[in-house]
Amino acid sequence: MAKLRAHNLAVSLDGFGSGAGQSLQTPFGHAGTRLMEWYFPTPTFQGMTGDRERQAVDPAHEPDDVFARRSLEGIGAEIMGAGKFGPPGWQDDPEWRGWWGEEPPFHSPVIVLTHRPRPALQVGETTFQFLDTTPEAALEAAFEAAGGLDVRLGGGPTTVREFLKRGLVDMLHVVQVPILLGRGAALWTGLEGLERDYDVESTTTPSGVTHIVFTRR
């Protein structure tokens, strides 16, 4: 059966999946790039951004890539929150086409959850569909769009938390980065006892982060 999976969701030790003060210039707010520094040097990210051939990949990043590349496997559609599609207020800009330029790395249908939907948008191989609906209905639409493959829950942290609360997530891969952000979007709030429904496995890598994988029992 097709699954809903969240991958590469980085959180600080104090549980923030992005910083405070997000804007066009600072997509992760005051966190800057600190939550994603384990990710940028991985072959998976390098390949996504087209630098794969230009840049030799340091084998030190292979352990992180073992986790990172799973996010690309067997996915037929993505669901993301409004906060991932653009900076606060993107809904006021009819020209906004996402962060990813003219060849977004999704290569599949993407459902963007927003209270201010707009017509579907094709960018490169990716179709963005904007829905003002419940997590359950969004998931149903995404499974439909995925044609039997799994659906990726792309974030941000607030969206992932909402789906976790409703028991909709089959697999969650969190990357804990040993920094203290102090403020931002909290991932773990309101999820007491989450672990009871999952097998949980933790793995530390040489980059200093800890990969925590929740797999539904």
**Residues lying near a second copy in the complex (CB under 8 A):** 13-15, 176, 178-183, 188-195, 200-204, 208-210, 212
| Residue among 201, 200, 193 nearest 164 (CA) | 193
Q: Which is nearer to a second copy, 148 or 167 (CB)?
A: 167
39 or 85, CB closer to a second copy?
Answer: 39
**Judged by CB, which is closer to a second copy: 19, or 156?**
19
Number of Cβ within a 10 Å radius of residue 75: 20
Min CB(200)–a second copy separation in Å = 4
Q: Say which residues have a Cβ less than 8 Å from residue 87's Cβ, sequence separation at least 6.
A: 22, 23, 24, 27
Q: How far is the CB of 193 from a second copy (least distance, A)?
A: 6
Q: What is the spatial distance between Cα 112 and Cα 176, in angstroms, rounded to a whole number?
A: 25
Task: Give the span between the Cα atoms of 43 and 31, in whole angstroms.
Answer: 23
Residue among 38 and 45 whose Cβ is closer to a second copy: 38
Q: Which residue's CB is nearer to a second copy, number 70 or number 107?
A: 70
Q: Contact, 175 vs 67, CB < 8 A?
A: yes
Q: Are 209 and 177 in contact (CB under 8 A)?
A: yes
d(CA 114, CA 100): 18
> Please, what is the minimum distance in Å from the beta carbon of residue 48 to a second copy?
26
Measure the CA–CA gap between 141 and 47, rounded to whole angstroms. 29
Could you tell me the smallest distance in angstroms from the CB atom of residue 185 to a second copy? 14
Residue 28 CB, shortest distance to a second copy, in Å, is: 15
